[in-house]
Amino acid sequence: MAENGTNGTNGQGYVGTRTIRPDGVDKVTGRARFGADFNLAGQLIGRVLRSPHPHARLVSIDTSKAEALPGVKAVITRDDFADQSSEFIPAGEMMMNYKDVVRNVMAREKVLYEGHAIAAVAATSTAIARKALKLIDVTYEILPHVIDVEEAMRPGAPVLHDDLFTVGVEPKPDKPSNIAKRVEIVLGDIEAGFKKADVIVERDFKTAPVHQGYIEPHAALASVSEDGSTELWCTTQGHFIVRAHCARLLGLDISKVRVTATEIGGGFGGKTVVYLEPLAIALSRKTKRPVKMVMTREEVFKASGPTSGATIHVKMGATKDGRFVAGFAELKYQAGAFQGSPVQPGVMCAYAPYDMENVKVIGYDVVSNRPKVAAYRAPGAPISEFAVESVVDEIAKKLGLDPIELRLMNAAHEGTKAAYGPKFGPIGLEETLNAVKKTEHWNTPLRKWQGRGLASGFWFNIGGETCASLTVNEDGTVSLMAGTPDIGGLRASLSAVAADELGIPYDKVRPIIGDTGSLGFTFLTGGSRSAFSGSMAIVEAAKQIKAELCARACKLWELKPEQVAFERGHVRPIGDAADKAKPMSLADFAKIAGKTGGPIGGYGRINAQGAGPSLGTHLVDLEVDPETGRVTILRYTVAQDAGRALHPAYVEGQFQGGAVQGIGWALNEEYIYGADGKLQNAGFLDYRMPVASDVPMIDAIVVEVANPKHPYGVRGVGETPIVPPLGAIANAMEQATGIRFTELPMSPPKVLKALKERELNKV
Amino acid sequence: MPRVVLVGNLAQLTGGVAEFQLSATSVKQLFQQLTELHPALEPHLAEGLAVAIDGQIYQDALFQPIGPNSEVFLMPQIAGGAGGRI
C-alpha cells in the first residue's frame, strides 16, 4: 500500500504520489548487493598494472616472472585484445571510437596518462596479484606530456596521436595535432546583432575537470565456461552496452554474453563505459575460473573518466531595455587521452535557455595526457552555461535590471527557435523563474559577506531503445522487468505506472532489473531517459495485457469486441451488454489463465521518441569568510520543469543531488596535477566533495509543464539540476564579495587570493 | 515540399549549402535523397544524426513521417541516441 494511503485499485492514483521504494528495505538493511558484493566459488582476484607515467612509448612488456609466481593463473596485456578499426559509435552520452576504446582498456603502443592500464593479473589472492604486478617488467620510452587544454592546443605541444587530424576546419590540416574537432552552430547574424547592442560584456572563464564521484567504485565479476558462455556481473548504467562493448572487444557472439547489472552506488554518467569488464572476461577466459576485479578509489580517480575541464570565452550583447541581441562563445574542452569530449552538447546548450536571434558558438575537442573523459550529468552543458549565466548576471547589473526579470524577458518558450536548430515545444523556463520569484527565499534580506545568486539551465533529454515487460502471476500480482539499471527511482516510478495502467494496488507490482538475456536491447540509464522511456514501454506492455484480457473476456462471455472494455481495473461488459456478465479483475483472469489461453503478459519494445527538454532555475545564498576564503552555502532552492513527476520524492532527490554535485564543482572539486603530469589528489581526503554537513536542505520546487509527447507528460529530470549551480554560485559570490570569479573551483585559496589582491589594489 | 536545414558542421560536407527543399515523406527518404545529392553525408547519416521535424527531435527513427510543409533540421545526435549496438 502506498504510504499516502492512495487506493490504486480504481486505476488512478499512484503516479504522482510518494510510493514506498521497492528497493528501499534492501538498501537500508544492507541486503542490497552492489558490484563488489558479488562472489563465486573458486573465483580469482584480478588486479591491473597501471602506468606511472603520463606519456610514454611501451617498448616492451615482460610478464614471464609474474606468470611464474605461484598462485598466478593468468596475465593479460595488449596482446590479448585484437586491434579495432576506427569506427565511431554513440557510447553513453557521447561518441567514442572502438580503436580508442581498446587502447583505453589496455594500452597498446603508448601509455597516454598516469593510471593507463598496461597489464592485468588473475591470482588466487589479492596479495599474490599485487606481488605479481611488481614482477611485470615494462620498458618505457618517456615522452613529453601536456595536461592543460590551452597548452595542448599550442603549436609545438607534445602530440598524443600521430593520426589525429583536426576535423571541421578548412583547409584540412596536413599535420596531426591535439585538436580532434572543431564544431560550431550559427543562428542569425552575430555581427549585426552586436551592432544593435547598447551593452556588451565579454569574459574569459576556466573550469577544472571534476569526477562524477560515485561512492561505489567500478567492480566486475566474470565467469567464462569451457564452451565460451560468458556471465558478467558489474556495476553499470547500461548492461546491454557493456555486453556490446565486451563482445566487440573480445570477439564474442552477443548471445553468448549475459550481463547482470548489480545495484549501483552512483554513476552520474561515469558508468556508461567499460574499464574492468573486458579485462575480467579476458582473464576468466584464460583461466576458466571466475575473476573478480574491483578498483581502488585511487584507480577510480586516475583511470576512470572525469568530465572535461575547459576554457570558455563569452561575449554577449543586450539593448538598454534588456533584450539579448547577440551571443558568442568559444569553448575548448579537454577530452582526456582520446578524442570525444562533450563539447558538442556544450556548444548546443550554451544559449539554449534564451530566445535570441543571433548566436554563434564554436567548440574544440582537445586531447591531453589525462584519463579519457566520460559522461557526467548533462555532459558539457554546465561548463558552457556557467559562463553564459555569469555574463547574463553582469548584464543585469550593468543595466540595473532584476536578474529574474531580465531572464523572463529573454526566456525561451514554446515556439522559440533554439540556436541549435528546431523550435521548442512546450517548455517551462518561465514557470521556474516565476516559481523562484514567489519564494520567501528570494525576498529574504542578506547580511554583509553574504550573496544571492540565480542561474537557469537547459538539457535536451533523450528517449531511445527500451524494453520492459509485465508478467501476470498466478495470483494476479505482476512481475515488472526493466532493462535499464535503477539509479534514481526507476523501479518505484515504473511500478506506479504499471499499477495505474492495470488498476491494481502498487504493492502487487514487483519490479526487477532484467539481465541481458531476459529482454531485448535496451539503451542505458543516461540522457535522463530511463523513467521517460521505461514508462512508455510499460504503458505499451500494459496495453497488450488489457487487449488480451478483453479478447479472452469476449470468448468467455460470448460478446463482440465492442461490447467489452477495460475500465477501472476490470474488464467490463459495456453498452447493451452491460448486464450480461460480471466484471473480471486481473486476479480473476490470472486464476483461469491456463484454461483460457495460457500465461498473460505484455512486452513493451520501443524506440522512445518525443523527449522534451527540461529547464530549471536555481537560487543560492552563501556566505564568504574573509579570513579563510571558505564559502558556506546558506540556502538553496531548485525549481525545475519535470513535465510530470511520476514519483515526486525521487524527482526532488534528483534536483537536490544535482545541486549538491554542482556546489562541489563550483567551490572545491578539481584535479590537481604536478609538473610531472601526475595526479596529486586521487582520494576523497584531497579531492573535496561536498558531504551532508556541507550543505543545507535543498528546497525543491517541482514545476509541471506536461510533455505532450509522453502518455503521462513526463520529461527527464536527472541532468538539468547540475547545470545552473555553477553560474548561480558564481553570481552569489559576486554579490557577496564584489568580485567576479571566472575560474572554478572558487576554493578558499583562490577566494582569499582574490580578496587580498583587491585590498592591495585599493592601497 | 519540406524545408531541410543542416545544423553546425554538416554544411561543410555539402559545399556550404545548408538548406534544401526535398520531396521526402519520411526520414528514410530524406537520408536517401541527401545521400544522392551529397555522398559525403552518407557516413554521418549512417552513424546517426538527430532529425527535428517541426520542432520535435527524433533519433534513429527512419520511418518517421515528414509532412509536405514540415521544417526539418539535421543535427548531431543528442546524448547518445540509440547507441551501443555493434
DSSP A331: E
What DSSP element (H or E) covers A434?
helix A429-437
Q: Does the pLDDT at position A1 exceed 50? A: no
> Residue range A212-222: average pLDDT?
97
CATH code of the domain in which B31 resides: 3.10.20.30
Q: What is the pLDDT of residues A38-85, one digit of tens each?
A: 999 999 999 999 999 999 999 999 999 999 999 999 999 999 999 998
A184, A244, A348 member nearest B84 (Cβ): A244
Q: Does the pLDDT at position A2 exceed 60? A: no
Question: Please, which pLDDT band fits residue A296 given cuts at 50, 70 and 90?
Answer: very high
C-alpha span between A700 and A702 (Å, rounded): 6
Pair A232, A277: CB distance under 8 Å:
yes
Q: Does the pLDDT at position B15 exceed 90? A: no
Q: Is A241 on the interface with B (CB under 8 A)?
A: yes
Query: Given this model, what pLDDT does residue B79 score?
Result: 58
B24 CB neighbour count, 10 Å cutoff: 20
Lowest mean pLDDT among A19-23, A634-638, A648-652, B59-63: B59-63
Q: List the Cα angle A592/A596/A601 in 5-degree steps.
A: 80
Which of B4, B5, B9 to mutate against chain A (most A CBs within 10 Å)?
Answer: B9
Domain assignment present for residue B83? The answer is no
Q: Does the pLDDT at position B86 exceed 70? A: no
B52, B58, B77 member nearest A90 (Cβ): B77
Query: Given this model, what pLDDT does residue A12 score?
Result: 58
> Residue range A142-170: average pLDDT?
96
Q: Which residues of A touch B52 (CB under 8 A)?
A: 421-422
Q: List the Cα angle A369/A371/A373 in 5-degree steps.
A: 115
Q: Which residues of B touch A344 (CB under 8 A)?
A: 76
Q: Which residues between 465 and 494 in chain A have a beta carbon less than 8 angstroms from any beta carbon of chain B?
A: 465
Q: Scanning every residue of chain B, which has its alpha carbon at the shortest distance from the alpha carbon of A420?
A: B7
A92, A248, A610 member nearest B80 (Cβ): A92
Shortest distance between the Cα of A537 and any Cα of chain B, in A, equals 15
Q: Does the pLDDT at position A93 exceed 80? A: no
Strands of A614-624's sheet in order across: A450-459, A614-624, A631-641, A698-703
C-alpha span between B49 and A88 (Å, rounded): 13
C-alpha span between A392 and A381 (Å, rounded): 16
> Residue range A297-313: average pLDDT?
97
A232 grid coordinates: 558478467
Pair A668, A730: CB distance under 8 Å:
no
Query: Given this model, what pLDDT does residue A8 score?
Result: 36
Q: Does the pLDDT at position A7 exceed 50? A: no
Q: What is the pLDDT of residues A245-260, one digit of tens each?
A: 999 999 999 999 999 9
Backbone angles phi, psi at A49, to 5 degrees: -85, 125
* Alpha-carbon distances, residue A8 vs A19, A383, A478, A590 (angstroms): 11, 43, 14, 19
Q: What is the pLDDT of residues A574-616, one digit of tens each?
A: 999 999 999 999 999 999 999 999 999 999 999 999 999 999 9
Domain assignment present for residue B29? The answer is yes
Backbone angles phi, psi at A699, to 5 degrees: -75, 135
Q: What is the pLDDT of residues A192-201, one digit of tens each?
A: 999 999 999 9
Angle formed by the axes of helices A403-410 and A429-437, to 10°? 160
A506 grid coordinates: 502498487
Query: Given this model, what pLDDT does residue B83 score?
Result: 40
Question: Please, which pLDDT band fits residue A242 given cuts at 50, 70 and 90?
Answer: very high
Q: Is A379 on the interface with B (CB under 8 A)?
A: yes
> Which pTM value belongs to this model?
0.95
* Alpha-carbon distances, residue A134 vs A48, A112, A275, A549 (angstroms): 11, 20, 21, 65
C-alpha span between A351 and A453 (Å, rounded): 19
> Residue range A424-453: average pLDDT?
97
> A642: closest CA among A532, A523, A490?
A532
Q: Which residues of A touch B61 (CB under 8 A)?
A: 607, 609
Lowest mean pLDDT among A3-7, A268-272, A616-620, A684-688: A3-7
Query: Given this model, what pLDDT does residue B11 score?
Result: 85
Pair A652, A660: CB distance under 8 Å:
no
Lowest mean pLDDT among A339-348, A724-733, A741-750, B42-51: B42-51
- Beta bridge partner(s), residue A632: A623
Q: Provide CB contacts within 8 A for A477, sequence distance 6+.
A: A504, A508, A509, A510
Pair A48, A302: CB distance under 8 Å:
no
Q: Does the structure's ipTM exceed the value 0.95?
A: no
Query: Given this model, what pLDDT does residue B77 score?
Result: 80
Domain assignment present for residue B65? The answer is yes
Pair A441, A700: CB distance under 8 Å:
no
> A431: closest CA among A415, A453, A412, A444?
A412
Domain assignment present for residue B86? The answer is no
Lowest mean pLDDT among A88-102, A602-616, B71-85: B71-85
Q: What is the pLDDT of residues A710-739, one digit of tens each?
A: 999 999 999 999 999 999 999 999 999 999
Query: Given this model, what pLDDT does residue A94 score?
Result: 63
Domain assignment present for residue B36? The answer is yes
Q: Which residues of B touch A245 (CB under 8 A)?
A: 84, 86
Backbone angles phi, psi at A316, to 5 degrees: -130, 145
> Residue range A623-627: average pLDDT?
97
Query: How many structural domains is chain B composed of?
Result: 1
Question: Please, which pLDDT band fits residue A483 given cuts at 50, 70 and 90?
Answer: very high
Question: Prior bond to A745 cis, omega within 30?
Answer: yes
Lowest mean pLDDT among A93-102, A334-343, A607-616: A93-102
A521 grid coordinates: 536491447
Domain assignment present for residue B46? The answer is yes
Q: Which residues of A touch B60 (CB under 8 A)?
A: 464-465, 607
Q: Is A246 on the interface with B (CB under 8 A)?
A: no
A574 CB neighbour count, 10 Å cutoff: 15
The domains found in chain A, sorted by start residue, are 8-32+463-608 (3.30.365.10)
Q: Which residues of A touch B86 (CB under 8 A)?
A: 89, 244-245, 247-248, 254
Query: Given this model, what pLDDT does residue B56 score?
Result: 87
Domain assignment present for residue B20? The answer is yes
DSSP string, A345-394: HHHHHTTTTB--S-EEEEEEEEE-SSPPP---SSTTHHHHHHHHHHHHHH
> Residue range A385-412: average pLDDT?
98
Query: Given this model, what pLDDT does residue B43 score?
Result: 84
Contact B61 A607 (CB under 8 A): yes
A86 grid coordinates: 576506427
Q: b/e map of A92-128 (b: 16 or more CB within 10 Å)? A: bbbbbbbbbbbbbbbbbebbbbbbbbbbbbbbbeeeb
> A377: closest CA among A711, A47, A658?
A658
Lowest mean pLDDT among A357-361, A677-681, B11-15: B11-15
C-alpha span between A94 and A269 (Å, rounded): 10
Q: In this complex, how many residue pairs, one in chain A and one in chain B, have their CB atoms less than 8 Å apart?
A: 117
Query: Given this model, what pLDDT does residue A92 score?
Result: 53
The half-sphere exposure of A158 on its side-chain side, counting CA atoms within 13 A, is 18
Domain assignment present for residue B84? The answer is no
Q: b/e map of A311-346 (b: 16 or more CB within 10 Å)? A: bbebbbbbeeebbbbbbbbbbbbbbbbbbbbbbbbb
What average pLDDT does chain A have? 95
Q: Assign residue A344 a region: left if phi > 0, alpha if psi is -120 to 50, beta otherwise?
A: alpha
A752 CB neighbour count, 10 Å cutoff: 17
Q: Does the pLDDT at position B13 exceed 90? A: no
Query: Given this model, what pLDDT does residue B47 score?
Result: 75
A150 grid coordinates: 590551452
Q: Which domain holds residue B59?
A: 3-76
C-alpha span between A437 and A433 (Å, rounded): 6
